[in-house]
């Protein structure tokens, strides 16, 4: 066998260069279009496009009053358990379905246009060595190509004036948005008030000429593993589909590298493409999450953005921008070993690992190994709740911290700034709690 390979080697070598010239000429005179969009979705439609509603963008966040912007039931302690019978889910569906909408978008998409043609596509059979070389040589050169495509998603009404919550990825790069009310009663054009890709949330507005059904936002922190929920949406274009399931887990960290802030509710209530943006509803008829993602390799593993996360970022959505303030520190939950080393015997706390140079944190006097015991007067009950609070903090926001250093308690006050105002930008890998 080795001898045969040596006999064929001179012939193959003589064929390579002529074949290369022939196929290179064919490649330069041909083109093919890949129909697969890129994995990373770039921003192709900017915030100054007509699809964005800019009515609130001149308002300062300190002047924003969202007290009655969404409905919320607060009598949690006096609630009676919901009795379960054969009509429980049917009655709940009748209660909420008119507030769930279908969202259809015409969007700008970026695809790969590849000039050239692979020589292996022209060969009747694959030739050893030659085919391998052709696979290595980049005969096809990718060039960005923009086209328009249709997509679908779901959403739900939170305000009688026509404000709708959905996922950011449902309306990203949208050129036109149409919202269809329950059971196809009527469709309305919609505009984007604001969206936040970090939490995958978006706020839309329609001008309705009829009374609208509104869904209240519940307290997602009160959810328990095993609690029963419903998911309502537009899966695969099957309008207003309802599925039931359980809360499988809470505070699931996103598997995507860019979603470092996102802590999801996991549910086994069926969520499919097109369900994104629809509500996850508890048995009291409250939205406890926005259905946003599935695990394609598994069955009945879906994720929802918690309702309390949505509440934190609502001011950013209303104002139409998602610019967050920068403080310039990295902090992690205090471990038992660190607590012993630092002679700390209190409750939950954070320990500072790093303070950025010339940052507000450094200017306020914070140092590594300082222990943060309170934030804006609230104790550090849980690390994830602290991270969620930071999602809604904007440049110019004053924050207060109570820290312990060498057993002595100190009060720290500082103001968040824009990252662009810092001469040396922080490392992109910096922990988001900064």
- Lowest-confidence range among 21-30, 112-121, 254-263? 21-30
Alpha carbon distances (Å) from 262 to 162, 233, 324: 27, 21, 15
**Phi, psi dihedrals of residue 297, rounded to the nearest 5°:** -85, -5
The catalytic residue positions are: 169, 200, 276
- Lowest-confidence range among 165-179, 181-195, 197-211? 181-195
Count of residues in the chain: 434
The per-residue pLDDT for 121 is 57
pLDDT of residue 39 exceeding 70: no
pLDDT of residue 123 exceeding 50: yes
Cα–Cα distance measured from residue 295 to residue 279, given in angstroms and rounded to the nearest whole number = 18
The per-residue pLDDT for 142 is 65
The per-residue pLDDT for 284 is 95
pLDDT of residue 179 exceeding 90: yes
- What residues does each domain of the chain span? 2-35+112-142, 36-111+143-320, 329-421
Tell me the average pLDDT across 37-41.
Answer: 53
The per-residue pLDDT for 62 is 79
Helices (H), 29-103: 88-96
For the segment 140-175, what is each residue's pLDDT rounded down to a tens digit?
A: 566 666 778 788 899 999 999 999 999 999 999 999
* Contact yes or no for 250/223 (Cβ under 8 A): yes
Closest CA to 248 of 270, 216, 218, 219: 270
Tell me the average pLDDT across 384-402.
Answer: 82
Q: Could you tell me which residue, 32 or 313, shows the higher pLDDT? A: 313
Taken in order 107, 111, 115, 120, is the CA torsion positive or negative? negative
What is the architecture of the domain spanning 329-421? Roll (2.30)
Q: Could you tell me which residue, 423 or 315, shows the higher pLDDT? A: 315
Tell me the average pLDDT across 398-418.
Answer: 90
pLDDT of residue 313 exceeding 80: yes
Bridge partners of residue 146, in order along the sequence: 110
240: left (phi over 0), alpha (psi -120 to 50) or beta: left
The per-residue pLDDT for 131 is 58
The per-residue pLDDT for 19 is 44
pLDDT of residue 10 exceeding 50: no
Tell me the average pLDDT across 413-422.
Answer: 75
The per-residue pLDDT for 347 is 82
pLDDT of residue 290 exceeding 50: yes
Query: Mean pLDDT highest for which of 189-193, 264-268, 339-343, 360-364?
Result: 189-193
* Contact yes or no for 327/361 (Cβ under 8 A): yes
pLDDT of residue 318 exceeding 80: yes
Q: How confident is the model at residue 274 (pLDDT cuts 50, 70, 90)?
A: confident
Alpha carbon distances (Å) from 45 to 41, 49, 106, 190, 195: 11, 7, 12, 16, 12
Cα–Cα distance measured from residue 93 to residue 60, given in angstroms and rounded to the nearest whole number = 39
Q: Is 242 helix (H, G, I), strand (E, B) or coil?
A: strand
pLDDT of residue 21 exceeding 60: no
Q: Could you tell me which residue, 100 or 125, shows the higher pLDDT? A: 100
Q: Is 155 helix (H, G, I), strand (E, B) or coil?
A: strand
The per-residue pLDDT for 75 is 74
Tell me the average pLDDT across 187-192.
Answer: 95
* Contact yes or no for 358/424 (Cβ under 8 A): yes
pLDDT of residue 405 exceeding 80: yes
Q: Could you tell me which residue, 265 or 138, shows the higher pLDDT? A: 265
The per-residue pLDDT for 296 is 65
For the segment 40-53, what is each residue's pLDDT rounded down to a tens digit?
A: 578 888 888 999 99
The per-residue pLDDT for 77 is 75
Q: How confident is the model at residue 38 (pLDDT cuts 50, 70, 90)?
A: very low
CATH class of the domain defined by 36-111+143-320: mainly beta
Percent of all residues in the chain with a pLDDT value above 90, rounded to a whole number = 41
* Contact yes or no for 292/305 (Cβ under 8 A): yes
What's CA 14's distance to the chain center, in Å?
A: 55
The per-residue pLDDT for 184 is 63
For the segment 48-92, what is each residue's pLDDT rounded down to a tens digit?
A: 899 999 889 888 887 888 989 999 987 777 788 899 999 999 999
- What is the helix (H) or strand (E) element at residue 122, kind and residue range? helix 119-122
For the segment 213-235, what is each residue's pLDDT rounded down to a tens digit?
A: 999 999 999 999 999 999 998 88
Q: What is the chain's mean pLDDT, rounded?
A: 79
The per-residue pLDDT for 6 is 46
């Amino acid at each position: 066998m080795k001898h045969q390979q040596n006999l064929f080697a001179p012939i193959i070598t003589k064929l390579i260069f002529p074949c290369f010239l022939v196929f290179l000429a064919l490649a330069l005179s041909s083109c093919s279009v890949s129909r697969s969009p890129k994995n990373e979705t770039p921003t192709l439609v900017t915030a100054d496009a007509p699809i964005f509603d800019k009515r609130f963008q001149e308002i300062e966040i300190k002047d924003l009053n969202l007290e009655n912007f969404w409905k919320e039931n607060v009598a949690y302690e006096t609630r009676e358990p919901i009795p379960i019978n054969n009509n429980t889910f049917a009655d709940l569906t009748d209660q909420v379905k008119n507030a769930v909408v279908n969202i259809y978008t015409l969007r700008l998409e970026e695809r790969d246009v590849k000039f050239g043609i692979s020589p292996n596509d022209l060969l009747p059979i694959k030739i050893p060595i030659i085919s391998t070389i052709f696979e290595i040589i980049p005969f096809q050169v990718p060039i960005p190509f923009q086209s328009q495509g249709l997509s679908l998603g779901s959403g739900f009404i939170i305000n009688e004036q026509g404000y709708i919550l959905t996922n950011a990825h449902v309306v990203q790069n949208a050129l036109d948005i149409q919202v269809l009310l329950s059971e196809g009663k009527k469709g309305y054009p919609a505009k984007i008030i604001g969206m936040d890709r970090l939490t995958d949330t978006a706020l839309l507005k329609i001008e309705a000429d009829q009374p609208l059904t509104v869904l209240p936002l519940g307290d997602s922190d009160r959810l328990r593993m095993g609690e029963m929920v419903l998911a309502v949406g537009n899966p695969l274009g099957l309008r207003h589909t309802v599925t039931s399931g359980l809360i499988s887990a809470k505070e699931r960290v996103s598997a995507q590298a860019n979603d470092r802030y996102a802590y999801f509710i996991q549910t086994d209530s069926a969520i499919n493409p097109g369900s994104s943006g629809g509500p996850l509803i508890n048995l009291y008829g409250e939205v406890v999450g926005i259905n946003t993602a599935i695990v394609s390799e598994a069955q009945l593993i879906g994720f929802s953005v918690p309702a309390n996360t949505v509440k934190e970022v609502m001011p950013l959505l209303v104002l139409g921008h998602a610019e967050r303030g920068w403080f310039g520190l990295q902090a992690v939950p205090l471990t038992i070993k660190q607590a012993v080393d630092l002679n700390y015997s209190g409750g939950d706390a954070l320990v500072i690992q790093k303070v950025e140079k010339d940052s507000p944190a450094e200017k306020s006097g914070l140092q590594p190994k300082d222990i943060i015991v309170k934030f804006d007067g609230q104790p550090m009950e849980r690390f994830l709740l602290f991270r969620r609070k930071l999602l809604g903090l904007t440049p110019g926001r004053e924050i207060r911290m109570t820290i312990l250093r060498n057993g002595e308690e100190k009060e720290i006050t500082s103001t968040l700034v824009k990252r662009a105002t810092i001469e040396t930008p922080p490392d992109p890998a910096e922990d988001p709690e900064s």
